[in-house]
């Protein structure tokens, strides 16, 4: 089966959807489940694009500010290139892994990762949100099948958009091979550059934006006894987003303490090492469609403290400790338990490793290929 896959998200710095697109595409190809024609937003290619550096997003925002209607212009040009290339590639099906699909003369499958645009519209640039609201409902209507990362998103899509259950298919995500347990000997040289020791720090991974709820993790951490904060500093990994005055003030206070360190964007190899070496991953996000860092931490043998959102609980099950999204004290207590109870820490580590075995990109690819076949048979 010849499938046109939109990989334009891979032109941006790698985030969750980019990892999904790359890993899914590679597994579809390597396991012979589909022949892929890759569209990177401007041209057709046989190889996957390399991730851009973080500065890409600033350049992109500047271009949109200078060019009125930049989304519409870019969309028009992309559509022309996509349509011409899809015909030349003789694509039988089109898979759109992001929020709104291009037009295609044939069956189309799309992936709806989450409904962030519904719950947190303020996290989207105004022009982009307008395009989502204008195009996404039509895309969902036209799609022969809709893939979702979790049952939690399937339930939301059914409620909010009225999508029939038979058109939705849960295809849980997986984790790359780089996320694995590592010995102290393997970790110590790699972590030396971050001035930390293996199992000697806490970690947060994610873009700075309101739904990631970093404020809860910071308040919980600052509420720990001074001895624990000194022994286990908190490292923040992720691209800068926007966080509002309250969080900016709290973050600056935490950074000034010297017990919280902001590492910014890190490449995928460094993130894997940091996850494997952390004492625990703190994942306070209010809303997720899956929570990929949670799975990656479990696969790395690192326990997780998370907010009790539906999708994250679906992924981690009993392998994480939970608190409600506004329960700072509950979050603090969960962190403290992991740091002070060696038996609990080891139990959570083992539960996480066992839980991670239920997820793989190979399984995600097989489910996706089955959905392709269904879509083509309608």
Q: What is the pLDDT of residues 206-235, one digit of tens each?
A: 877 777 899 999 999 999 999 999 999 999
Q: CATH 3.40.50.2000 residue ranges in the chain?
A: 2-174+360-377, 184-356
Least confident stretch, 11-15, 184-188, 267-271, 295-299:
11-15
> Cα–Cα distance between 42 and 4 in angstroms, integer?
14
pLDDT band at 53 (very low <50, low <70, confident <90, very high): low
**Nearest in space to 46 (alpha carbons), one of 112, 16, 2:** 2
Return the structure tokens found at 233.
């500093």
pLDDT in the model for residue 56: 47
pLDDT in the model for residue 174: 98
Contacts for 109 with CB less than 8 Å, ≥ 6 apart: 93, 94, 95, 96, 143, 144, 145, 146, 147, 368, 371, 372, 375
Q: What percent of the chain has pLDDT over 90?
A: 75
Question: Which helix (H) or strand (E) covers residue 306, if one does?
Answer: strand 304-307
**What integer best gives the mean pLDDT of the chain?**
91
Contacts for 152 with CB less than 8 Å, ≥ 6 apart: 289, 309, 310, 311, 314
> Cα–Cα distance between 378 and 371 in angstroms, integer?
11
Radius of gyration over every alpha carbon of the chain, rounded to an integer in angstroms: 21
Q: What is the pLDDT of residues 155-178, one digit of tens each?
A: 999 999 999 999 999 999 999 999
pLDDT in the model for residue 14: 78
Return the structure tokens found at 52.
């851009």
Q: What is the pLDDT of residues 258-304, one digit of tens each?
A: 999 999 889 999 999 999 999 999 999 999 999 999 999 999 999 99
Return the structure tokens found at 254.
């935490």
Evaluate whether 334 touches 323 at the Cβ level (below 8 Å). yes
> Cα–Cα distance between 28 and 171 in angstroms, integer?
13
| CATH classification code of 184-356 | 3.40.50.2000
Pairing of strands 35-39, 44-45: antiparallel
pLDDT band at 59 (very low <50, low <70, confident <90, very high): very low
- In the predicted model, is pLDDT for residue 22 greater than 60? yes
Architecture of domain 2-174+360-377: 3-Layer(aba) Sandwich (3.40)
Q: Is 147 left (phi over 0), alpha (psi -120 to 50) or beta?
A: beta
- What is the SS3 assignment for 191? helix
> Cα–Cα distance between 296 and 266 in angstroms, integer?
15
**Nearest in space to 317 (alpha carbons), one of 337, 298, 338:** 298
Mean pLDDT, range 357-368, rounded to an integer: 98
Evaluate whether 261 touches 90 at the Cβ level (below 8 Å). no
Evaluate whether 39 touches 4 at the Cβ level (below 8 Å). yes
**Nearest in space to 274 (alpha carbons), one of 357, 175, 195:** 195
> Cα–Cα distance between 267 and 326 in angstroms, integer?
31
Question: Which helix (H) or strand (E) covers residue 73, if one does?
Answer: helix 70-88
Residue with tokens 């697109």: 21
């Amino acid at each position: 089966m010849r499938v046109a896959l939109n990989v334009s998200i891979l032109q941006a710095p790698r985030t969750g959807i980019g990892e999904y697109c790359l890993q899914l595409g590679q597994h579809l190809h390597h396991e012979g489940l589909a022949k892929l024609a890759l569209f990177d937003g401007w041209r057709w290619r046989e190889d996957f694009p390399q991730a851009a550096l973080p500065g890409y997003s600033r350049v992109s925002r500047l271009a949109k500010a200078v060019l009125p209607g930049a989304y519409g212009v870019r969309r028009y040009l992309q559509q022309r290139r996509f349509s011409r290339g899809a015909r030349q590639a003789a694509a039988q099906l089109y898979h759109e892994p992001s929020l709104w699909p291009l037009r295609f003369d044939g069956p189309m499958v799309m992936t709806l990762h989450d409904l962030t645009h519904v719950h947190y519209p303020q996290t989207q640039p105004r022009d982009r949100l307008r395009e989502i609201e204008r195009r996404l409902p039509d895309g969902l209507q036209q799609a022969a099948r809709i893939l979702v990362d979790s049952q939690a998103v399937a339930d939301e899509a059914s409620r909010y958009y009225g999508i029939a259950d038979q058109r939705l298919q849960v295809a849980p995500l997986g984790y790359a091979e780089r996320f694995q347990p590592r010995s102290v000997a393997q970790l110590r040289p790699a972590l030396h550059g971050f001035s930390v020791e293996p199992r000697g720090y806490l970690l947060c991974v994610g873009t700075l934006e309101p739904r990631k709820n970093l404020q809860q993790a910071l308040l919980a951490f600052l509420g720990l006894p001074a001895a624990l904060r000194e022994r286990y500093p908190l490292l923040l990994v992720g691209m800068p987003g926007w966080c509002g005055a309250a969080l900016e003030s709290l973050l600056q206070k935490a950074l000034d303490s010297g017990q919280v360190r902001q590492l910014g964007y890190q490449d995928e190899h460094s993130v894997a090492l940091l996850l494997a070496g952390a004492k625990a991953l703190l994942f306070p996000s209010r809303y997720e469609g899956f929570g990929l860092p949670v799975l990656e931490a479990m696969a790395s043998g690192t326990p997780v403290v998370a907010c009790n959102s539906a999708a994250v609980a679906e992924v981690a099950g009993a392998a994480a400790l939970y608190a409600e999204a506004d329960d700072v004290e509950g979050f603090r207590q969960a962190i403290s338990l992991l740091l002070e109870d060696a038996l609990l820490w080891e139990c959570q580590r083992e539960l996480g490793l066992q839980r991670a075995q239920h997820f793989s990109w190979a399984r995600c690819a097989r489910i996706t290929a089955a959905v392709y076949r269904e879509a083509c048979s309608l």
